[in-house]
């Protein structure tokens, strides 16, 4: 069984996905980590971005200026669509490969995919799990994690599909607004229901 985990910025989807994989004793994969790897010099995503994006997104050593790129994609929808058009097919191919490998070996796989529904990948998984937290909690977490202003965090948060909409699309929802102990208890119950 392969489980796609999603949520909004600051909802805690990474922590929840990793904890779920640990509880289930299965592999964990992150779409964001795959995309970061794809943007390393010489990798397929990097090669395409270097052909299609201006030099202003590259540091003097040739690496992608990730901070500049991140800021630009949250303020320029066309740029975000262009970058996603490069990275998403490559990332999906890798995640599908890992899902197939997990199925073959009889292991479960937990895949954390922030844009699971936006990309239409939900049918690649047996179950979709949405990690929910209220907007105020999400914004506070993004401010603390990324050292950005509340305004910038709100702008980035608002650029994504609403968590309420994701909750309506998912098979299951885990509320991560409270303590992590509460979240872990909900995850253990979810894991029990899967077996």
Report pLDDT digits (tens) over 51-107: 999 999 999 999 999 989 988 887 888 999 999 999 999 999 999 999 998 877 777
Boundaries of every domain in the chain: 2-194
What is the average pLDDT across 138-143? Answer: 94
Q: What is the pLDDT of residue 103?
A: 78
Q: What is the pLDDT of residue 102?
A: 85
Which of the four pLDDT bands, split at 50, 70 and 90, describes residue 194? confident
What is the CATH architecture assignment of 2-194?
A: 3-Layer(aba) Sandwich (3.40)
Q: Give the DSSP H or E segment for 166.
A: helix 163-169
Q: What is the pLDDT of residue 21?
A: 95
Look at residue 195 and tell me whether its pLDDT is greater than 80.
no
3-class SS of residue 153: helix
Q: Which residues, 6+ apart, have CB-to-CB distance to 112 below 8 Å?
A: 5, 6, 13, 14, 17, 18, 28, 29, 30, 31, 32
């Amino acid at each position: 069984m392969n489980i796609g985990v999603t949520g909004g910025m600051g909802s805690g989807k990474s922590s929840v996905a990793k904890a779920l994989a640990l509880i289930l004793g299965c592999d964990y994969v992150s779409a964001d980590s795959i995309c970061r790897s794809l943007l390393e010099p010489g990798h397929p995503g990097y090669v395409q971005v270097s052909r299609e994006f201006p030099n202003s997104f590259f540091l003097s050593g040739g690496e992608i200026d990730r901070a500049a790129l991140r800021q630009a994609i949250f303020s320029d929808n066309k740029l975000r669509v262009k970058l996603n058009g490069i990275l998403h097919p490559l990332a999906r191919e890798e995640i599908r490969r890992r899902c197939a490998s997990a199925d073959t070996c009889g292991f479960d796989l937990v895949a954390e995919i922030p844009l699971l529904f936006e990309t239409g990948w939900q049918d690649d998984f047996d179950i979709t799990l949405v990690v929910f937290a209220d907007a105020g909690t999400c914004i506070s977490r993004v401010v603390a994690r990324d050292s950005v202003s509340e305004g910038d965090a709100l702008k980035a948060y608002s650029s994504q599909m609403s968590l309420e909409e994701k909750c309506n699309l998912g098979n299951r929802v885990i509320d991560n607004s409270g303590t992590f102990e509460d979240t872990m208890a909900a995850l253990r119950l979810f894991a029990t229901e899967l077996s």
